[in-house]
Structure 1
Amino acid sequence: MPRFYLFGFDTLANIELTTSMAEAPSSAAPELSFSCLPADSAGRQGCTGNVLYLSKRLNGSGESRVQLFEESGTTWLMRFPGIADFFLRPGEIECRLVDPALAFMVNVLLLGHVMACYLERQGILALHAGALAVGDHAVLLAGHKGAGKSTLVTSMVTAGFPLMADDIAAVEARDGSVPCRSAFPQLKLTPEQLGCFMTDGGESYPRFHPGFTKLSVPVVDLGAFDLGPRPVGAIYLLERESCDVPVIERLPPARAVVELARHSFLGHMLERTSLQRERFAHLARLAQAVPVKRLRYPNSFDHLADVHAAIARDQKAGT
């Protein structure tokens, strides 16, 4: 059975994932089990427990695309109507697939919303950010759409900074220690983004999702992967501007908490659950323990090396 690291968890699965994973040794007991039941075992998606969240976005049948329920004190159900149910329990994630033709969605959903929710239930913040190893530390890059996060992360990977996470950075803030867990060794890039770093071969990569343009690119084809965990050195909030040089400014803790909340992967989904109070306290501890900085940088591919150097200098100055 496949055995791999997933957000720092030694994971045992009953199926192979299509995304490249970091292999885990089989000597120790797994920390997380993932199973996907065949379609004939899934049954029909019916009513369930206490409603925690229903997305405003609807599918073609008029149902919320993402639904979250509390089945019991230890079991949460994340439902994607017409696609799959994911049951989340301590140490276990179970998928029940509605239609075998949708098997490709297991990979998409598990590595996104489902793992983010599982992390949060374990008291681990899931931030919408890329993460790289810079020296002995993890550096997180967050930014709203259009901020250039994917391009900057990939450019740093190709420049020799090992990837830790492409889109979801798993961070803990306990007892003064703030480690970042590594996700999995894959980058999601549009063909245009990939073309900036690879002159040929891009056409051979599959789409991460058939309806999206981004490709699933193993990081080994562009650079290295760091298994982590590593202490977080800083979190940079990206802003592309018409400036000549990168500018880095530290935010005060109160403002940092607000920005971290905005860059939480599932903040909108979890804000009315029992996790919310502890999540806010967790964000506050993170903002106090780790520098959160605004990184304004030139809107030009030619200046990316300058951004790498600015981050490296900032990290060296902070050690």
Structure 2
Amino acid sequence: MVLNDRHVTDSQGELRRYRAFGHTLASNRPLASWLPASFDPPDLTISFITQPPFEWNPANSAAVYSSLRKSDEGESILALYKLDPCKVMRFPEYADFYLWPDRLVCCLQESAPAHMIQVFLFGNVLPFWLELKRFVTIHASAVEISGNAVAFLAHGQNGKSTLAASMLRAGFSLLTDDVLPLCLRDGDHWAYPGYPVMRMWPNTIEHFITEYEHLERVHPEFAKRYVPVGGDQFGSFRDHPCPLGRIYILERQGEAGLPAGPEIEVVSHRDAVIELLRYSFITRLSEAVGLAGDRFDFLSGLVQKVPVRRLICPSGYEYLPQIRQAILSDLTD
């Protein structure tokens, strides 16, 4: 939970420091219980307040982006504003997030549920902050193999977290489970860590860990749970960036086209760019602030240096050892 109580309420106190996305976050309130502590100087200071940091009226401001998805009241569930002092991500009925390069202010609505603030913060706001810092964020899980990041791209329940969990069970370290930040360093493409937790459905947890009832729910209305990684928990976590070595785009086949085993195909540079654009995080928000061209240039350069493969595999936990071995063999070619 973002807070220890059921709802977010106003409080001030000593700043707590956490590590997420390869950066140190300092907050005036507890963040997620699964975030590791940090003793480094903060890259971003987060303040939770209940009054706006300055006066403005959304009704008199033009949003540069409004989500097509609407609330029951007909209002966009997310709107982005470019104001003179900062950018504002507005989630009506929940919170407004004010973003500066090194500061984030979350102005909470009354009785905003803590789990929703956590979802917005880690799933939308912080990835957008990274994009503003010239990272490119991809919807992917990733593990570290022989010093390089290996990323798995898939939508929905197509198995990227399950495959990553299988790699952890085999002794490799998790880099991220959902948001993969990428950047260019000294001419190379680097993958940054997320945070040491995975999101799994109960059947997946039972396959790898056996018990799940004690684990925190991602959302009170859903069965998916947070699975802490590292320490005396499941697997291990790499908290430092590493070069991006390979990208696999997962494709599941039904019974009609079931292969005898996993198949790996080379993806052309052109198709790889298209796929990476499809799996990019918060694309519309980045486009709204003029970063679409930078994203395209970054991904076009990335596919020239980092091999992209299509991993076609059957569904079922029993196939995971074969899939894992196919990946390891491909990495040695």
Q: Same fold (TM over 0.5)?
A: yes
- Partner of residue 132 from structure 1, selected from 143, 161, 165: 143
Runs of 4+ residues deviating >4 angstroms: 40-45
Separation of aligned partners in 2, 1:196 and 1:45 = 51
- Partner of residue 7 from structure 1, selected from 21, 32, 36: 21
Q: Does 1:170 align with 2:181?
A: yes
Match of 2:8 in 1: none
Separation of aligned partners in 1, 2:111 and 2:53 = 10
Separation of aligned partners in 2, 1:44 and 1:203 = 45
Separation of aligned partners in 2, 1:205 and 1:146 = 20
Written as runs of structure 1 = structure 2, the 5 A alignment for 1:162-311 is: 162-200=173-211, 202-220=212-230, 221-241=233-253, 242-311=258-327
Give the SS at the match of 1:203: coil
Paired AA for residue 274 in structure 1: G
Deviation at 1:12, TM superposition (A): 1.2
Give the SS at the match of 1:23: coil
Deviation at 1:66, TM superposition (A): 1.2
- Asked if the contact 1:166/1:188 (under 8 Å) is kept, the reply is yes
Paired AA for residue 148 in structure 1: G
Match of 2:6 in 1: none
Give the SS at the match of 1:22: coil
Deviation at 1:272, TM superposition (A): 3.8
Deviation at 1:41, TM superposition (A): 5.9
Match of 1:102 in 2: 113
Deviation at 1:146, TM superposition (A): 3.6
- Asked if the contact 1:19/1:107 (under 8 Å) is kept, the reply is no
Change (3 A) 1:19 1:280: farther
Separation of aligned partners in 2, 1:272 and 1:88 = 15
Gaps of 5+ in 1: none
Separation of aligned partners in 2, 1:304 and 1:178 = 28
Deviation at 1:173, TM superposition (A): 2.9
Percent same amino acid at aligned positions?
34
- Asked if the contact 2:65/2:284 (under 8 Å) is kept, the reply is no
Give the SS at the match of 1:249: strand
Q: Spell out, residue by residue over 1:217-236, the C-alpha distance to the aligned partner (whole angstroms, 9 max, x if none).
A: 21132111101201001111
Paired AA for residue 288 in structure 1: Q
Gaps of 5+ in 2: 1-14
Change (3 A) 1:34 1:131: same
Deviation at 1:252, TM superposition (A): 1.4
- Asked if the contact 2:137/2:280 (under 8 Å) is kept, the reply is yes
Q: Does 1:60 align with 2:72?
A: yes
Match of 2:4 in 1: none
Aligned length: 312
Deviation at 1:215, TM superposition (A): 0.9
Match of 1:22 in 2: 36
- Asked if the contact 1:119/1:125 (under 8 Å) is kept, the reply is yes
- Asked if the contact 2:94/2:112 (under 8 Å) is kept, the reply is no
- Asked if the contact 1:97/1:103 (under 8 Å) is kept, the reply is no
Deviation at 1:49, TM superposition (A): 4.1
Normalising by structure 1, what TM-score? 0.92
Paired AA for residue 252 in structure 1: S
Separation of aligned partners in 2, 1:174 and 1:230 = 10
Q: What RMSD in Å do the two structures reach over aligned CA positions?
A: 2.0
Separation of aligned partners in 2, 1:212 and 1:99 = 24
Deviation larger for 137-146 or 208-217: 208-217
Deviation larger for 41-50 or 171-180: 41-50
Q: Spell out, residue by residue over 1:241-294, the C-alpha distance to the aligned partner (whole angstroms, 9 max, x if none).
A: 211222212211111110000000111333343111111111111222211111
Paired AA for residue 134 in structure 2: G
